[in-house]
Chains A and B, each alone.
Chain A
């Protein structure tokens, strides 16, 4: 048995060697997502979106038979690195896609790109990969982290808010968020509150907001923290008196839990279910049919990440060994993005539009976000200027 296997393996290796361009070689993609723990919802959305795109391509991204190996990074950078190495060395993947959180992305970026394996982000967009640390093997199908916060800062500035109350969890992403907000907001920040990561009771912060009487509140409060913050903001009566601007707080992953408490609250997004283009209509309809829930931006980014990989493979005519051609294809990004307007910047991050969105209830009783106005048109990130792409 063992001998037969060996012989078969040897024959397969020979065959692969002989075919040279190896047109028959399968496209193997390691899909790394966060699928356990309190933030698993984001990872599930992204995975489902990605797999839907593979399904839409009849299992052949860019015309090549595609195998997707899904792994859970558990939101731990060390676990992410370990699993990325296993994907590269054991499973011989040509691409690793996904990665929800920036701390995991920052850890896996180096080992993956150094192995000359493409890394295509379905969400995380840390600044280290957008500026000086940009990399020919790294692509983002999502956004650069700062942009979502900049959208709200720009909106607050345009809207003429003079006094803003900012609140974010006390960790790097929270500080980056408030810094991003302040990039375009020039008014007064009456208070800048950093809460404990994982905090669920915000009664003390509600009292501080009420005491400060700001023109509006801006927050970055992802996951379960945001659900609680929004609920208590509503219960404290602040939702009716003080506009609520947010990033990564009110979205498709949290709305099923926030429900009515989120109605009328604002958030930033580069995509919604309501964007008018054919690719998006198909995506949204099929997604809801396939998975039975309303897709969020994470699902849309997962879908576009798979499409982006497909565009690269297609440009190389299915030759997975021709990495230069795949890279060129992904830079051209010639695929029908569900965002409609989508270009690749010099630092391999998208140039796209950003919107102010508002939580609303649909006719069928489900909750979703809808576009209020476009805040940025064809917007690239501020770090692209520092990127010297080799």
Chain B
């Protein structure tokens, strides 16, 4: 291959990988948005947020099995997740708000194990699938030999739309104002006569709904299986720590940064190492570094901005 074709090729590849990174980023944002609100407003560590993503995907699969309609599956996922979020809040979370972070971690970790096994018992150990909706089932030739599913672009678009809506909601609505107030000073909020319990339940339910929506969006490209939310939860925590706890804007920027760094790292770290290392050593070092990159990013951000990029609190 002549050099100019090679570099042209890498440029296209880099563009495709950037797109992949952004798409992972918006998916992460949908999960992280709820997590950061719950953590920021209520000072509540909800490890069960990842399983709510999983349950959203399962609700979608169940909805699709009943109706064979993607929009109905969407309704199932969103409403089911909302209901599940409110139910968990009422039964479990409410009892944990005033307790230590360790108790919260233990309690919500129990929910992870419980819901993972429940999903496996109800839907079986074999992962389930949700077909790509008919209207979005096409693909475009993005680079030679690679078809890019339109659905992946739809995820990107849907994520951006939700992000915009969320921004408007938090910035301009009364509920959004209360949430922001809660994030910076919850005690004052309750002293002013706001029903904090209802606000908290609303935030948890809304967060669960967003996570469920993310699960639904991911279901047609991934498979729906028990524990699918566990790894995503870790990434979502990295995102909110980078973005600043309680900040939607921070979650958005953090999610895109993590998505891009992770994807580009996985794509190019080994090749970059090959420039100055033997192939075998590069194969060792590349993947190792790629899996560490987002944590290095997090450590770097925390070094310069200890409360994250857009941290609401200066605690």
Tell me the A residues contacting B by CB distance below 8 Å.
36-41, 44, 170, 192-196, 198-201, 203-208, 210-211, 213, 224, 227-228, 231-232, 235-238, 241, 253-254, 256-257, 259
CB closest chain-A residue, reference B148: A236
Bound: A274/B127 CA distance, A: 25
Indicate if B184 sits at the interface (CB-CB under 8 A): no
Residues of B near A38 (CB, < 8 A) are: 125, 225-227
Bound: A170/B128 CA distance, A: 25
Indicate if B231 sits at the interface (CB-CB under 8 A): yes
Bound: A207/B283 CA distance, A: 18
> Once the chains bind, are B223 and A227 in contact (CB under 8 Å)?
yes
Residues of A near B193 (CB, < 8 A) are: none
Residues of A near B148 (CB, < 8 A) are: 236
> Once the chains bind, are B221 and A44 in contact (CB under 8 Å)?
no
B13 contacts which of A40, A207, A228, A257 (Cβ < 8 Å)?
Answer: A207
Residues of A near B46 (CB, < 8 A) are: none
Interface centre among B126, B143, B147, B225 (most CB of A within 10 A): B126
Residues of B near A256 (CB, < 8 A) are: 126
Residues of B near A231 (CB, < 8 A) are: 129, 221-223
Instruction: Using A195-B287, A231-B129 as known contacts, say yes or no to A201 and B146 having CB atoms under 8 A apart.
Output: no
Instruction: Using A36-B120, A40-B125 as known contacts, say yes or no to A211 and B221 having CB atoms under 8 A apart.
Output: no
CB closest chain-B residue, reference A35: B125
Give the shortest distance, in Å, between A286 (CB) and chain B (any CB).
21
> Once the chains bind, are A207 and B267 in contact (CB under 8 Å)?
yes
Give the shortest distance, in Å, between A170 (CB) and chain B (any CB).
4
Chief secondary structure at chain B's binding surface: helix
Residues of B near A170 (CB, < 8 A) are: 287-288, 291
Indicate if B144 sits at the interface (CB-CB under 8 A): yes
Bound: A11/B290 CA distance, A: 65
List, sorted by A's number, 9 A–B pairs whose CB atoms are closer than 8 Å. Answer: A37-B227, A199-B231, A211-B10, A224-B225, A227-B223, A231-B221, A236-B146, A237-B139, A256-B126
> Once the chains bind, are A238 and B287 in contact (CB under 8 Å)?
no
> Once the chains bind, are A211 and B127 in contact (CB under 8 Å)?
no
Bound: A196/B232 CA distance, A: 13
> Once the chains bind, are B291 and A40 in contact (CB under 8 Å)?
no
Give the shortest distance, in Å, between A8 (CB) and chain B (any CB).
38
> Once the chains bind, are A257 and B129 in contact (CB under 8 Å)?
yes
Give the shortest distance, in Å, between B22 (CB) and chain A (any CB).
11
> Once the chains bind, are B143 and A195 in contact (CB under 8 Å)?
no
CB closest chain-A residue, reference B263: A204
Bound: A200/B146 CA distance, A: 19
Indicate if B24 sits at the interface (CB-CB under 8 A): yes
Interface residue tally on B, bucketed by range: 35 or more
Instruction: Using A200-B228, A208-B267, A227-B127 as known contacts, say yes or no to A238 and B221 having CB atoms under 8 A apart.
Output: no
Residues of B near A40 (CB, < 8 A) are: 120, 125
> Once the chains bind, are A207 and B287 in contact (CB under 8 Å)?
no
> Once the chains bind, are A194 and B283 in contact (CB under 8 Å)?
yes
Instruction: Using A36-B120, A194-B287, A195-B287 as known contacts, say yes or no to A207 and B223 having CB atoms under 8 A apart.
Output: no
Instruction: Using A37-B227, A204-B266 as known contacts, say yes or no to A235 and B221 having CB atoms under 8 A apart.
Output: yes
Bound: A341/B39 CA distance, A: 61
Indicate if B202 sits at the interface (CB-CB under 8 A): no
Indicate if B149 sits at the interface (CB-CB under 8 A): yes
Residues of A near B290 (CB, < 8 A) are: 196
CB closest chain-B residue, reference A208: B267
Residues of A near B267 (CB, < 8 A) are: 204, 207-208
CB closest chain-A residue, reference B279: A192
Bound: A40/B226 CA distance, A: 10
Bound: A332/B120 CA distance, A: 40
Instruction: Using A201-B222, A231-B221, A232-B221 as known contacts, say yes or no to A257 and B127 having CB atoms under 8 A apart.
Output: yes
Residues of A near B161 (CB, < 8 A) are: none
Residues of A near B12 (CB, < 8 A) are: 211
Bound: A200/B289 CA distance, A: 19
B223 contacts which of A36, A192, A257 (Cβ < 8 Å)?
Answer: A257
Interface centre among B116, B144, B221, B279 (most CB of A within 10 A): B221
> Once the chains bind, are B222 and A228 in contact (CB under 8 Å)?
yes
> Closest 8 A-B residue pairs measured CB to CB?
A237-B147, A210-B146, A40-B125, A41-B125, A194-B287, A203-B20, A210-B145, A227-B223
Give the shortest distance, in Å, between B91 (CB) and chain A (any CB).
24
> Once the chains bind, are A192 and B222 in contact (CB under 8 Å)?
no
Give the shortest distance, in Å, between B138 (CB) and chain A (any CB).
11
Indicate if B104 sits at the interface (CB-CB under 8 A): no
Residues of B near A254 (CB, < 8 A) are: 126
CB closest chain-A residue, reference B226: A38
Residues of B near A236 (CB, < 8 A) are: 139, 146-149
Bound: A44/B126 CA distance, A: 10
